[in-house]
Amino acid sequence: MVRQEVDGGVAVLTLANPPVNALGAALRAALDGALAQAIADDSVRAIVLAAEGKVFVGGADITEFGKLQQPPSLPDILDRLDASPKPVVAAINGVALGGGLELAMACHGRVSAPAAKLGLPEIKLGIIPGAGGTQRLPRLIGPDAAFPMMLTGEQVSAETAAALGIVDAVVLGDLVAAARTRALEIADSGALPRVRDRAEKLTPEAREKFEALAAEAVKRDPDATNVHALARAVRAGLEQDFDAAVAVERAEFRTLVEDPRSKALRYAFFAEREAARVPGLPKDTPRRPIHAAAVIGAGTMGGGIAMCFANAGIPVMVIETEAGALTRGLDRVKGLYAGSAKRGSITEAQRDERIGRITGAIGLEHAAQADIVIEAAFEDMGVKREIFSKLDGIAKPGAILASNTSYLDVNAIAAVTNRPQDVLGLHFFSPANVMRLVEVVRAEKTAPDVLATALDLGKRLNKLPVTVGVCFGFVGNRMLERRSRAGERLLLEGALPHEVDAAVTGFGFRMGPFAMSDLAGLDIGWRSRKDFGGRAPVADSLAEMGRYGQKTGRGFYLYPDGARTGTRDPEVEALIARVAAEHGIARRSFSPDDIVARLMYPMVNEGARILEEGIAARPSDIDTIWINGYNWPAWRGGPMHWADTVGLKTVAEALSRFAAETGDDSQEPAPLLKKLAEDGGRFADWKAA
């Protein structure tokens, strides 16, 4: 796991624990032993830490968190570095995250390759750095720069790291050779520059800026225990000596590891990676080449999907039926890119390159040379089947034909072609150029290589692809429909829109369901229900009155003078009471907890049915979809994980009660949920038969 080579008085220790050199117990033991040997070797004057592959160290082994850790711990190794009489220089060849950056900062010098990325992302897992990161980074770059870097958990480039002072130099040529030279320079100097001893960045001015940033962060997210802990740990480094401050950090870290928020975030981390493994799809499944794409439709979704390809360096043709729609769509895309360049998120050169990869045309025949064609027309089965029927005779052999449908039967769409094996769904989420999630809908006849290619393409487009089966609404929208139905029922039974929205935002969502409906437009759901059947008495009544939400200034709420935040409307509340009376429903009050249960438990129940039917392979896939496509609070781990924390017996008993109260048998616990509840089981332990 650690290769050792001594030459010219320098010991080069190369970490070799693919794919990311995670600092698990075995690598830690090997590294500690190699360091001890090099320090004891009289022929060695200096040491270089290097790494095999494209990653320096991707971080700690997260699977060890919360378990009895095998010695040596990472702090033990960093103590050895601090005590080393010989200089150690880190050669950061690639990503250095979390424990990897903490390891590098404990060295006496750091050089990096131009492609290196550095960061302390622990905040995203509900924790904070636990091996001196909250102490060494402020000493290197100042607490005012270190705190926001740790607060976001985002990576910085090698160039930025050098400008900040995290690394000593960015090396264009032989990185290890440069690290050897640097190590010998330090050895010749006779002084060992330890980060722990530095204090020049810990100025009163830097502390004042840090305290302002910390106060703002705590106010913005008062329930985030890790944000509070991060502020306390950094503050300890300004008030106490290094060892005492590290002890504070370590205590905060250990507490957070056991925190339910942290456990949920770590669960979400692994769930996302597990989604990439599709049962029955071997890793060596062949992939089809994707060099050029076509998107049918220049609307909001079509344009956003085209941007995804352009951003990934793949030329894309946007196809429309008439020139006006095409021009409007391409102009919208150019405007989005112009806005990104103005904000500085991309350069003007990148803007021009990406716009240059998008071309437009009138007529489906222009899809003839595309390796993948994505249909992004509106949700009408007749329209989609007509498009696919024509594409069948136009697209070249082997081209993948995908529909961006949100609800419709992909099997029925594939059936109009003579190549159903080439057809699948790619359900992008709006705005497609921003949202990470893509539901990859595997139809009955979708070929394995088509599915594998689509999953690889999703990653290439910087998306998070999750495989699902065919049913109305797939996973996300099918469960959302249950929540929408429950929300309507709550209004009729006595809750008001602002009460429901407050309960949902209190639960952790950024917006409540009725504010979200107003933002999206009540007319969208109204027309969908007319097309697919079903009725939402309150929402449909509002839509029939022309109250479409923010775009008309009136929906569930009022939006005077173009306001983005709605205010209560007595007219809506009177309408709700009137509709409830017409349905003979007695109204009463609900607590926020009651509201959350009545909204979320039916979603969990539908998730259980989705698992029973094989639409999703595992509960964690459902959770990944809801966290990344519907803004479910990640610190609650997704609806299925959350239900486990509530207790499935509690959920099942409540659903039976709701069904009895409303007369809606669909709220009765699904067989899987009922069995798990009776057996004291959890979704986390469930495996598909």
Hey, is 461 helix, strand or coil? coil
Nearby residues of 382 by Cβ (< 8 Å), 6 or more positions away: none
| Whether 429 contacts 308, CB under 8 Å | no
Question: Tokens for 621?
Answer: 């896939």
DSSP 115: T
Q: Do strands 400-403 and 423-428 pair parallel, antiparallel, or not at all (unpaired)?
A: parallel
User: Whose structure tokens read 């929408």?
Assistant: 484
In whole angstroms, what is the distance from residue 237 CA to residue 136 CA? 9
Burial annotation 410-420 (CB, 10 A radius, 16+ → b, else e): bbebbbbbebb
Place of tokens 């438990």: 601
Angle in degrees, CA 519, 520, 523, rounded to 5? 115
**H-helix or E-strand spanning residue 68:** none
Quickly count: other Cβ atoms within 10 Å of residue 163's Cβ.
Answer: 13
- 5/15 Cα distance (integer angstroms): 12
Nearest to 34 by CA among 19, 21, 20, 50: 50
Q: Among the options 5, 52, 122, 348, which is catalytic?
A: 122
Dihedral angle, C-alpha 143, 146, 149, 150, nearest 10 °: -90
Catalytic residue of the set 64, 102, 205, 274: 102
The DSSP output letter for 23 is B
Query: SS3 of 54, please?
Result: coil
Question: What is the pairing mode between strands 55-57 and 95-97?
Answer: parallel
Whole-angstrom CA distances from 79 to 39, 243, 686 are 13, 10, 43
Q: Give the start-end residues of each E strand in 183-324.
A: 293-296, 316-320
In the numeric block, the tokens 């980060």 are attached to: 195
Distance in angstroms (rounded) separating the CA atoms of residues 672 and 340: 47
**What stretches of 331-399 adopt beta strand conformation (E)?**
358-362, 372-375
**What is the 8-class DSSP label of residue 554?**
B
Nearest-angstrom CA–CA distance, 146 and 132: 13
The candidate with the shortest Cα–Cα distance to 295, out of 374, 182, 378, 178, is 374
272 is known as an active-site residue = no
* Dist. CA 551–CA 461, nearest whole Å: 31
CA distance 214 to 528: 46
As a whole number of angstroms, the distance between CA 266 and CA 61 comes to: 11
- Asked about 208 being catalytic, the answer comes back as no
- Whole-angstrom distance, CA of residue 330 vs CA of residue 352: 13
Measure CA of the first residue to CA of the last residue in the chain; give whole Å: 38
What letter would DSSP give residue 468? Answer: E
Listing from the earlier edge strand, what are the strands of the sheet with 423-428? 358-362, 316-320, 293-296, 372-375, 400-403, 423-428, 437-441, 464-468
Separation CA 475–CA 479 (nearest Å): 6
Number of helical H runs and strand E runs in the chain: 28, 18
Tell me how far apart the alpha carbons of residues 381 and 378 are, in angstroms, rounded to a whole number. Answer: 9
From the list 170, 188, 197, 171, the residue with the least C-alpha distance to 10 is 188
54's tokens: 């494209």
Maximum CA pair distance of the chain?
92
Query: Would you name the residues annotated as active-site residues?
Result: 102, 122
